[in-house]
Each structure stands twice: as C-alpha cells, then as structure tokens.
Structure 1
C-alpha cells in the first residue's frame, strides 16, 4: 500500500506542476545522488527557519508558495521539533516528465527515524515544488 501511495503522489506532483514545459527532461540533465540529497537537506533547514531563497524557485512555484504557506510550514516543523535536523538524505526514486524531474527523498534523523519529501526540479535546475510527505511520529 505504501509503495502505491508513493507512486500516486509522484504522479500527482508531476501532473499538477504548473512549471511544465513542452519537452520532457533529457536524461543527461538529470541530477542524481549527492547534489540532490544536499539540496533536500538544505531546503528542509530553510523551511524550518522560514528563510527561503525564491531565486532558486521557478516563477510558477514561487507564485504558489505564499509567505503564509512558508510561515505555516515553518511553525509546524518547529512545533513538531524532531530533536535535530535530518543528517542524511537519500534519493529513493526519480521520475521525469512534463519538463521536470521529481525526486522522492528519504530523510534520516539522528535517532534513526526517517521521513520523506518530494523535490521537483526543472530543466534549468530551478525548484518546481517541495512537498513533505511524512516525518517521524506523523
């Protein structure tokens, strides 16, 4: 059931992207491994502090991501306080299409608990979406 849910969320994230472009992402532009994991960890920290860098976002995603949404997520992450920021991120799956690549990222926290997030990137490396799927204790 969990695998089906993850695949459904990946499909929905790609279908709902307003940053879609006419051509699919060429395989050669697909970033993998450490750079994506590092980006996921950085953005988790930014979301927790509420200090995001909109220049890294696609114009469409930046317009969707209101200041209120950022503040609400920051408050939620701080209220839940998982003891520490995740120390490791691992790419579990990636899908390309609609002019972007969507990564399913597993976050590992110091106690060994895990969570997950979706991270979408456009062909020019801008973030097309970030979604926290699950965190320890949820």
Structure 2
C-alpha cells in the first residue's frame, strides 16, 4: 500500500459499515440471481461464519458451457456492463514466472479458472437496478447462446 491508497482508505473508515453492508447486499443479490444459472456457471456461497463484502463477483464458466468466457465478456461490455477476467494460474499462465519451471497442466484447477473465469462489480456504487439490468442481459445472452 502506498500513501495515496492509505489516505483514501482512512477517508473511507467512517463509512466502512455502510460500504460493507452495501457490498454484502449486492453480493447476496447476485448469488440469489445466478443460482438459477448453475448449469452454466460455478460460483460460491457465503458460509455461516463469514460476512463477505467483496468489490467483485466471481463466475467460472462450467466445462460444457455452450459459450465461453470471451463471448460473455464481449456481450457484457457491448451492453455497458464492466467485467474482468479472473486471475490466471501464476506459475503456468503468467510468462514472468516461467523461471519456476512449471508447465501447463501442473495446476489444472487454477488453469481452468484462469481460462474460464470472470468477475463483475458488486461494489458500493452498484444498485439493485444495476443488478436487475445485469440479470436481464445475462438472461438474454443465455437465451441467444443456448439454442441448438
């Protein structure tokens, strides 16, 4: 962390509970909505001992999904929805770590996530209307891409 990041963080401390509450609400809203698409996506659930307040919601396309990550990301971007890829498998999918000597296949789960995962914002700037818009677009995308 640098001084600028620390200054921004200190400025948000008085709003911490509100920020965490909003992020948590957005997360739970998205989990509830995406549960209907579990045949296409792998996601996660909050455990009883957790209160999660992330900045983004991770999704991983299932192995036999009729669409791939890039198709979904392009569709989302064309509809004004920001999405990013999930982290790659650092030892095998990031060139800067070739010196470690690992090869593709050494970390199959991490590599699968690196090739098939995205995340979508759930930060405190996201509203219920934004989540509803996202889910309308996801439904449209699945309807278009899942036809035989």
TM-score of the pair, normalised by structure 1: 0.26
- Which structure has the bigger radius of gyration? 2
> Which structure has the highest strand share of the two?
1
TM-score of the pair, normalised by structure 2: 0.24
